[in-house]
A and B are shown apart, each in its own frame.
Chain A
Amino acid sequence: MSSDRDIGIMDIIVNPMKVTLKQFFKSTFGKPTTVMYPLEKRAPPPTYRGMNAVIWDLCIGCGICGEVCPNKCLKMKPTELSDEEQDRAWYGSHVAKRKSKAERPAINFGHCMFCGFCEDYCPTGAMTMTDFYELADTSREGLIYPARSMKVDLPELPQLPLTNYMMESPILNSETCIGCSKCVDNCPTNCIIMDEGVINKELKNGTVRNVENPYFDYTICIGCSTCVKVCPADCLHMEPISNSSSSGLTEEGEVTEA
């Protein structure tokens, strides 16, 4: 494919040097390619995966970001919210008010590999990645960013639909349900209500009473499996769903990817 020609005596020095001479004059009288880093910086593209930032007003504390983090460098930490923050909280306002402490993500950037899964799988779009990349620090402790240090406030909140990126939803086994309603208390999107269940159910301790069972609004379920984790009777398990845009807030044909 590439042209083959006979190699002559000019190809020892002269012809190769033509190339280097050309480049020499080009970069002497033009601008060299290299960027003088600390003084000049290249602009990252808008998709750049840099340090994380959390829009607290959108965050519902569901913990999916910690769930999908391959390095487990992201943990949900209980955080005190001020009254104003509680008022502004959008989806999670009820959780913030009900629980003594709301949970917000904190990141250990010493372990983070900037894969962007937390951003991709966030059901509300609260987790974002900025183009800030100069995170170097002199100590390991300095790389642990507490939840509040990553908080950002946007003047106008994007109206994003709740999306179930986890492709799973909880399924109830009403046989073992004891009707404790812990799942309702902990559901970050308030998609569970307690309603009629098994009548005259015999519990483990021998007492017999009517039990209320949880019912799920799958249109706004985000598949965070918080209910499965808090269930004391192991009566919930996750099962795959067919469509990620099953959320009721999504209109047909709308692009779901933020």
Chain B
Amino acid sequence: MAEMWISMGPQHPMTHGLWTLKVKVDGETIVDADPELGYLHRSVEKMGERRKYFMNTTLTDRLCYASSTTWTHCYALSVEELMGVEVPQRAQYIRTIMLELQRLASHLMWAGAYMPDLGHITGALYFWRDRELFLNLLELPSGSRLLYNYIRIGGVKRDLPDGFEEKTERILKLFEQRLDEYADLFENSKIFRMRTEDVGNFTASQAMNLGITGPNLRGCGTKFDLRKQDSYEIYDEIDWEIQTREAGPGYGDCFSRYMVRIDEMKESVKIIRECFKKMPAGPTMASKVPIRASGDAFRRTEDSRGEALMYLVGDGSDRPYRWKIKSPMFTTISACPHYLKGYKVADIPSIMGSIDICIGETDK
């Protein structure tokens, strides 16, 4: 067969959002690729310039609808850096718990979306069933199931409700049990391994240059997690390990990326448990939160998908002068010709699924 361009997207089961991947194929082998974005561009940065600082948490919630708390947290952290707000200790613990719950929900969302990519619908429903548990948990304090608007500048909206700890513990126990049960169905299944092992390889040094961070980089064996390397909230007071895995010396494949996320979920469960153990009493909101700011500041956090960075410039008014969002998936998608070349058409969903795309944050 002659070489031809196939346009996958903007509406295609592989894309997990709205974007186009143009692939040049020779028969079934990929020769070249060209990603195109912009179908979901909502001009969040421009909108943010017209709204007050505290109102923008609703926009950051909608950056990535699978992982809204982490983005709102990144924004709140940057604004606190800009305004010089001290967050109370209890609020930091509550934030950490919410962030890890959100990370669990986000990773489960990803795992559920990855399984149909491999032709495994049951996997989607299993993982999404478990995600539902964590959404129920996130709903209790925040009052909403998807877009929480719970983390505010200077703290959190309200204290955790009564019985939250017991409920969380019950759900974490059930979840751990189920995750062990799933091992036979997914990572130990021969056909699953046939589809994911030795597919979508890139080395750690390549990944750094391509701008790939987060679980995808840790899937190459690099110990880089901003929760430790640029620690925020109370991650440095808690005993936990960076989860890495590599398929071979210094490189990772789809399977190692899958396993890193599964291991990270188990680690998140540990973090949540320890947070509950150490949580102090006290207020959940800073006593003084200014509404005007000037100067510039940035913070970076470990989002569920990699390095999230928000750079804010204030001009003394109550609205940001410039608000720049760095989304980890933006650079990862830009690098996709590098790790798609040479694989088969059937590997496209397997590879693109394994890097966990979220178009909401990418298109901003």
State if A and B touch, Cβ cutoff 8 Å: yes
Residues in chain A within 8 A of chain B (CB atoms): 1-3, 5, 7, 9, 11-12, 15-16, 18-20, 22-23, 33, 44-49, 68, 70, 113-117, 120, 129, 166-168, 240, 242-244, 257
The residue on A at minimum CB distance from B50 is A70
Can you name 11 A-B pairs with beta carbons within 8 Å? Answer: A1-B263, A1-B267, A2-B266, A3-B183, A12-B189, A20-B122, A45-B140, A47-B141, A47-B143, A167-B288, A167-B291
Q: Are A115 and B58 also in contact (CB < 8 A) when A1-B266, A3-B183, A243-B288 are?
A: yes
Would you list which residues of chain B between 176 and 196 have a CB under 8 Å from chain A?
A: 181-185, 187-191, 193
Give the bracket for the number of chain B residues in contact with chain A: 35 or more
Bits for B129-165, please: 1 = Cβ < 8 Å to A, else 0: 1001000000111111001010000000110010000
**B185 and A68 within 8 A (CB):** no
Q: How far is the CA of A9 from the CA of B191 in the complex (A)?
A: 11
Chain A residues with CB under 8 Å of B129's CB are 33
* 17 further contact pairs, Cβ within 8 A, besides A47-B141, A129-B143: A1-B263, A2-B183, A9-B190, A11-B190, A12-B191, A16-B184, A19-B182, A45-B161, A49-B143, A70-B59, A117-B149, A167-B290, A167-B291, A240-B292, A243-B287, A244-B287, A257-B158
4 smallest CB-CB distances across A and B, nearest first, come from: A47-B143, A70-B55, A19-B185, A49-B143
Q: How far is the CA of A15 from the CA of B189 in the complex (A)?
A: 8
Chain A residues with CB under 8 Å of B52's CB are 68
> Within the complex, what minimum Cβ distance (angstroms) separates B113 from chain A?
19
Q: How far is the CA of A232 from the CA of B268 in the complex (A)?
A: 57
**A11 and B143 within 8 A (CB):** no
**A120 and B157 within 8 A (CB):** yes
**A16 and B189 within 8 A (CB):** yes
**B55 and A2 within 8 A (CB):** no
The residue on B at minimum CB distance from A44 is B139
Q: Are A5 and B188 also in contact (CB < 8 A) when A33-B129, A240-B290 are?
A: yes
**B288 and A242 within 8 A (CB):** yes
> Within the complex, what minimum Cβ distance (angstroms) separates B183 from chain A?
7
Q: How far is the CA of A33 from the CA of B291 in the complex (A)?
A: 45
**B289 and A167 within 8 A (CB):** yes
Q: How far is the CA of A19 from the CA of B147 in the complex (A)?
A: 33
Q: How far is the CA of A120 from the CA of B144 in the complex (A)?
A: 14
> Within the complex, what minimum Cβ distance (angstroms) separates B150 from chain A?
10
Chain A residues with CB under 8 Å of B139's CB are 44-45, 47-48
